[in-house]
Amino acid sequence: MFEEWASQFETAIGRCGLAWTEAGVTGVQLPEADPKDCLARLTRHGAKRVKAADVPPEIAELIADLQAFLSGQPTGFDGLRLDMKRHSAFERAAYDALREVGWGKTVTYGELAARIGRPNGAQAIGMAMGRNSWPVIVPCHRVLGANGWLGGFSAPGGMLTKKALLAREGVYPDGGQLKLFE
C-alpha cells in the first residue's frame, strides 16, 4: 500500500484538485458543480487531504502551472512525474504519446493510436481518454475524431469543458460557431 495525498485550489474556472504519491501525480480533478464532489473524487482511493499552504514545493509549483494554464497562459507540463500504476500499459503508452502534443495542437484518435503502434486502435484510444486521471496535464481535450469531430470528454462539464479548454489554446474545431448560441 502506498500513501497518497490530495489538495484543492482555486483556478480561473473554479475549484480544482490534485492527488499525488511519492512516485508522482495520481490525478487532477477539474471543477465539479459542488466542490465537495471534487474532494470526494480526489480522495476516493484513500488520499489524505492536505491544505494548499502545506503542499510540497513540487506540488505547489504544479498548482501554479495549472492555474496559469486554466487562465489561458501557454503552459507545458514536461518532465512532470505521473504515478500511472492504476493504468494499463496501453493507457500509459497513449498518455505518454499524448503529452507530446503541444499547446494549440490537436491529434485524432486514429493518429494517436498509430503513434503507439496500434493503427486500428482509435476506439481503444477513446476508452483510454475516458480513463485519463490527469486532464490538462495529459491533454485529452486535444484528441479529436476524424474530420475535426470533437469526440467525447468525460471530465465535468463534458463537451462544453472540452471546447472551453481548446478555445483557451486558440483551437476551434467547430469554427467557433458555439459563440453564436452562448
Which residue is catalytic, options 28, 55, 62, 140?
140
**DSSP readout, the chain?**
----EEEEEEETTEEEEEEEETTEEEEEE---SSHHHHHHHHTTT-PEE--GGGS-HHHHHHHHHHHHHHTT-----TT--B--TTS-HHHHHHHHHHTTS-TT--EEHHHHHHHTT-TT-HHHHHHHHHT-S-TTTS-GGGEE-GGG------STTHHHHHHHHHHHTT--TTTTGGGGT-
- 140 a catalytic residue: yes
Residues that are catalytic: 140
